[in-house]
Amino acid sequence: MDDDELLSRHYPVEENMRMQQRVWRFERAGWWCLVLMVVLALLGLFGNGPLSDATAISTDGRVQVEYQRLSRSGTTDNLRITVRGTSAEPVMVLLGGSLLREASIETLQPEPQASLSQGKALLLQLGTSRDGVATLYLTLRSEHVGTLEGVVRAGPSSTVRFSTFLYP
């Protein structure tokens, strides 16, 4: 910048060019921060993107949960649970954890054959397809802010734990 233009004028207004330069630098840095925020949001830092989409699989591989690692309070999230059982035999799936307690289940597809409560958790009986796979689609909404844990269990060694962080 021109040296003369950097000098503070005192007439007709009292200037403080050092301060003014700091303001300009702040504006420029702030703009880059906003650009970064937009790019990260596109990547899914605030939900619904590659950074946020996640899949958790139980140790024996029978239960698979597709969930959002990051989400926002008050929005609906999709949760897909796939359970491998024996052909044409119903499987029992236990849904628990703070996520399923705090969040309200807006939709549950397909309708389970039976739905029971077990302590604070939810026990569902699902019908399987011919190849022995049961899939459950859930839509969840929570007003909670912070981390919520979900547990899906379909047997002693078929447990999936996952957690979702909800932005305000």
Partner 1 sequence: MDSILRAAAMYVALMLLFRVAGRRSLADLTTFDFVLLLIIGEATQQALLGEDFSFTNAILVIATLIVLDVGLSLAKLNAKPLARLLDGHATLVVEQGRFLHSRMRRARLTEDDILESARDSQGIERVEQIKFAIVERNGKISIIAQE
Query: Least distance in Å: CB of 39 to partner 1?
Result: 16
Kindly state whether residue 27 participates in binding partner 1, applying the rule CB under 8 A. Answer: yes
Rounded to a whole number of angstroms, the minimum distance from the CB of residue 20 to partner 1 is: 6
Token pair for residue 61? 């591989």
The answer to whether 156 and 133 are in contact (CB under 8 A) is no
Q: Which is nearer to partner 1, 3 or 131 (CB)?
A: 3
Residues 34-63 that bind partner 1 (CB under 8 A): 34
Report the C-alpha gap between 30 and 35 in whole angstroms.
9
Site string for partner 1, 63-92 (x = CB under 8 A): -----------x------------------
Beta bridge partners of 8: none
The three-class DSSP label of residue 119 is: coil
Q: Is 30 in the site for partner 1 (CB under 8 A)?
A: yes
The yes or no reply on residue 5 touching partner 1 (CB under 8 A) is yes
Q: Are 125 and 90 in contact (CB under 8 A)?
A: yes
Contact 127, 83 (CB under 8 A): no
Our CB check for partner 1 shows the closer of 10 and 130 to be 10
Contacts with partner 1 by CB under 8 A: the residue count is 22
Which residues are CB-contacts of 141 (< 8 A; sequence separation ≥ 6)?
74, 75, 76, 77, 103, 104, 106
Query: Which of these ranges, 17-25, 40-48, 59-67, 102-110, lies near partner 1 under the rule CB under 8 A?
Result: 17-25
Q: Distance (Å, rounded) from C-alpha 116 to C-alpha 63? A: 20
In the complex, the residues that contact partner 1 under the rule CB under 8 A are 1-2, 5, 9, 12-16, 19-21, 23-24, 26-27, 30-31, 33-34, 74, 168
